[in-house]
Structure 1
């Protein structure tokens, strides 16, 4: 979950941004203000991950505010003025949204923020949550997936197939990023193209893994075989120590 703020002095723009944030499951709105100085404490304490920031405001300009916070959180600029784009990117904003902002464009910027945040959220997801949100192949569709429902994941070129109790979900994510998000205690990489749920293992037959309620046999790659059996060693009766 990405904690975000809206900093904008235009009521209509705030209303639209608030409505957009409410539609995106991985965004949590922590506040709205037209005075950036009011939220400096929250930013300095690391409570905010992302700010949707207008440029023209009474107390301090958006560009000056970005310089003031020194990279403590990610910034998406929201403005009616295209001439500030270069200044924005020179200050490492992650996107630049021109008003009026469409939901499709807003979603693209939010997804970019999510993708950039994956490394910093890996440990949070492992310790705090038992689910994840994934962007699917369907335009604008994001699904919540419970870890306990996942049987296995197959990595393809630029996406993964997540096989659950009831469906196959095609997610726009690579298998390496997904491996980092999934809890180590519950999932294992067993092949360059496969991650499995340890709880769903039914049998191991040579270099193939058979899962519960599945006809699919998952290949066990040579590279992953030593770690796989080392992890299972304490649970396998009769395996030589």
Structure 2
């Protein structure tokens, strides 16, 4: 299943793409946006495979939107009424460029390109116990730091960055929380709210909706969205 969002300041343009996608079972629409700023915020916290993106929008253009995106693996199909911007789009490695009004056959051709692109993309394997560390790009240009998996206490989301709290220090990395969550070992880490992923072996106690971690003075609140999964995980370790 390919997860997508639609970003266009015109509701009618969104409705056209929604109508076309109804007949394509392999693609699921996660959300639609008339405000590109809201779409960028959604991308920072959700896994999206494909974006249908208008070029002419208020606040920021589609080209600026692509340049701002953190996850460069997300595929983009540009939609616009202006043919002259095609070169700019392909310079940014978009999958396709559709000119409005979009004919259905041309739309299906673009979808075929996306499916071929995603299916041929190299699959990134999640980190397992065989991987003892990974490298992250820091806020300093050209600088990378080593993060030992076993030393991570928790990961904190901070707008366009995440902070790895490990071995008594904090390392900022230009990443999205969803990318970190996808690539940390599921048997060692769990997300407890929008902005926090914690190491299971650092938990010392749970008090209501608060989690206390070993050696960490701050208490982390359990978000309502993540509460059930977290408590189910804890019940697996509960002695009765």
TM-score under structure 1 normalisation? 0.49
Q: Which has the higher contact order (CA 8 A, sep 6+)?
A: 2
Rg bigger for which structure? 1
Kindly indicate which of the two structures has a greater share of residues assigned to helix.
1
